[in-house]
Amino acid sequence: MMGITWTSSNLGYPRLGENREWKKLLERLWKNELDEETFLKEMKHLRLNHLKKQKAKGIQSIPVGDFTFYDHMLDTAVMFGIIPRRFHSTDKKISLSTYFAMARGTAEAPACEMTKWFNTNYHYIVPELNETIPTLTENKPLKAYLEVKEELGIEGKPVLIGPITFLKLSKGYKKESFGSLLQKFVPLYVKILQELEEAGAAWIQIDEPSLNASFPIEDYFFVQKVYETFQREVPNISIMLQTYFEAADHYTKLVSLPVDGIGLDFVHGWEKNIQALKTEGFPANKSLGVGLIDGRNVWRADLQKKHSELELITSYLPEGNHFLQPSSSLLHVPVSTNSERKLSPVLKDSLSFADEKLEEINSLTNMLNKKPDEKWLEKNQKVFQRFAETFRQQSEKITGEKNKLPSKRSLPFSERKTHQDNKWKLPLLPTTTIGSFPQTKEVRLERRAFRKGEKSINEYQTFIQNKIKEWIDIQEEIGLDVLVHGEFERNDMVEFFGEKLNGFAFTENGWVQSYGSRCVKPPIIYDDVAFEHPMTVEETRFAQSLTEKPVKGMLTGPVTILNWSFERDDIPREEVAYQIALALSYEIKALESAGIEMIQVDEPALREGLPLKREEWDRYLNWAVHAFRLATSNVKPSTQIHTHMCYSEFHDMIEAIRALDADVISIETSRSHGELIEAFETAIYEKEIGLGIYDIHSPRIPSVGEMKEMIERALRVLPASLFWINPDCGLKTRNKEETVKSLKNMVQAAEEIRESHKLQIK
């Protein structure tokens, strides 16, 4: 009797390197400190090291082709020759300069749109199809497969984004054209697979996470046709159709597809996937990829519990070989806990980054194959016991304080607006920024010196105040109507607040890629979150003392702090959000008491927290909105609450955005080239709003004419009395010259529109 055997597998590995070597290589290339040949050589060295490490950790099915120079969706677009005309290249092989121009923009051409990868904190570059005829410029998976086979003797598992997901996440075509467009891509995928088959590849991982995102059942017609074609044209290669981030939609149809393996997420989709296995079974002619180690959070797996879950899964499986793997690519977690020297031993032992997750997969695989490491298992159980004895679950005191907070402003917006207009007397189309100004090398070095004890607190505070004064003067000179202090004292919009609240821990090297070379170090919420003392009052009050114009207080909202942190996985997420909201409500009252009565509470991550299943949206949005209102409702009617959101598809959550009851909301729209404005042609939004009119993620400086065009279009669907003028996000990643020139153009555009429309005071 054959029985069941298990193979340890991985779906993807972090690109960054343990010390962010990947980021540093990219930025040196962009600064012309590195030639292309050296860049490629160093990137290859890093890539091969990642693969050697996975092999050393006991992974048998090692992904290849997941490594990228910027983004995997951008790689796929370039592989298929999907190059927007503004970057047009006649070369068959797309140059690195064209590749990076699409991601970052040039002086002549705006960058491609960037948005969140499903409900994660990672951003991808959105392919622009727009009548482009796809062609195979290079078989990237084949190149990756041959490289690791020849260089390391590893039989890798090529990874590529499936055609369904690639098209679902692309733009520039009509919905009814999906099927005909798909037919143009399928032959190119077939060619990729045929060449991999000829090269000897055994398994191919084709990622189709879109199949878990409320996938329309009628579209399974296309899925069936695609994979029937692959099976017919490339019969001797084994395809693992990989899903993640949620439970499978239409399980029966998914497992009936003509592929050799199906990968399911048993972390974020446990209940629905296990129920489907129980009631529908699993095909005898397929392998199951069991995603049981959390690829998106940093907590150590309870091996006893995981083993019990695996035994349950096994009871529903046919004989044969199956795969044990993370729930998703490990792209979403830091690389290793090895360099974490400052965390408490109890907390550090409770963490598992990418490398530790590979060890967990290997250990569980051995347990399933009857080769358990009893000492490792015993050590694992002691970790959970110590954590439970050390850290709280949730205190009654915090719950009681939270329940006393109002969740509704004392007056409706229409009445608050009168109070606020009388107080501020701003011109129509008031100009402002989103909050941060350039975090230059000088600022970072000064902060580092202070943290190392090389600068006293007085020296550091003097430096920060000088930077605040410099940029208050710059804003006055530019002519902005509402100013900000610049956030020079802040390293990251979440980390800064986490460092000042109880319950957060911070790593030394726990970096995760956000987009391109932009990395973040998410805080770890390990205990009750609680307010200890004012966090932003000192700098904001100082800035306000320098000008007669209003200075906004700047806070990060509760849902964003939650979504951009690694939260406890044993407490409901909404309860953690309410704890953060309570802490922020105290900070808002402290700002108001200090005379700061225009306060921005940013929620750029509100949308990315949406569940992939639409039927679960309402529950999430209800508690997310409630958390925001708990934080912001306990203020005077004349205190103006602002918020900011990135990459929001306004039309599909307008009711939730309205329910936040913020007085002013700013939303990114520049990278989508104004498409968000279309939402207002059919939806009425009665509060004040700023649609970001230029892209801060690109170094290019937009012209006055470009910004006027964006404003004019917005004014066709929005009343001038409600419209604000601002960039689409904070300016910390830009340099001083770019920032000043762009803001001068923005203010000039606003002034010219006011003049042409004869607009005066609100």
435 is in an annotated binding site: yes
- In this structure, the number of other CB atoms found within 10 A of the CB of residue 618 comes to 11
646 is in an annotated binding site: yes
Instruction: Choose, from 123, 307, 332, 697, the residue flagged as catalytic.
Output: 697
Distances in whole angstroms, Cα of residue 351 to Cα of each of 308, 337, 356: 21, 7, 8
Is 697 catalytic? The answer is yes
23 is in an annotated binding site: yes
CA dist., res. 98 & res. 108, Å (int)? 13
What letter would DSSP give residue 439? -
729 is in an annotated binding site: yes
487 is in an annotated binding site: yes
One-letter-per-residue 3-state SS of 620-667: HHHHHHHHHHHHHCCCCCCCEEEEEECCCCHHHCHHHHHHCCCCEEEE
117 is in an annotated binding site: no
One-letter-per-residue 3-state SS of 524-545: EEEEEEEECCCCCHHHHHHHHC
503 is in an annotated binding site: no
**Which of 476, 623, 460, 601 minimizes the C-alpha distance to 539?**
460
434 is in an annotated binding site: yes
Cα angle 516-517-522, degrees, rounded to a multiple of 5: 100
24: CB partners within 8 A, 6+ apart:
none
15 is in an annotated binding site: no
Burial of 98 (0-12, 13-18, 19+ CB in 10 A): middle
Say how many Å lie between the first and final Cα of the chain, rounded: 81
Strand partners, 645: 667
Backbone Cα Rg of the chain: 26
519 is in an annotated binding site: yes
CA dist., res. 597 & res. 585, Å (int)? 14
467 is in an annotated binding site: no
Cα angle 724-728-732, degrees, rounded to a multiple of 5: 120
457 is in an annotated binding site: no
**Which of 211, 245, 204, 240 minimizes the C-alpha distance to 328?**
245
What does residue 550 show for φ and ψ, rounded to 5 degrees? -65, 140
22 is in an annotated binding site: yes
Q: How many helices (H) and strands (E) does the chain have?
A: 26, 20
Three-class secondary structure of residue 322 per DSSP? strand
651 is in an annotated binding site: no
567 is in an annotated binding site: no
CA dist., res. 581 & res. 589, Å (int)? 12
- In this structure, the number of other CB atoms found within 10 A of the CB of residue 272 comes to 18
Q: Tokens in use for 531?
A: 């307010």
- In this structure, the number of other CB atoms found within 10 A of the CB of residue 105 comes to 21
Annotated binding site for Zn(2+): 644, 646, 668, 729
Annotated binding site for L-homocysteine: 434-436, 487, 602
Annotated binding site for L-methionine: 434-436, 487, 602
Catalytic annotation, residues: 697
Annotated binding site for 5-methyltetrahydropteroyltri-L-glutamate: 20-23, 116, 121, 518-519, 564, 608
Annotated binding site: 20-23, 116, 121, 434-436, 487, 518-519, 564, 602, 608, 644, 646, 668, 729
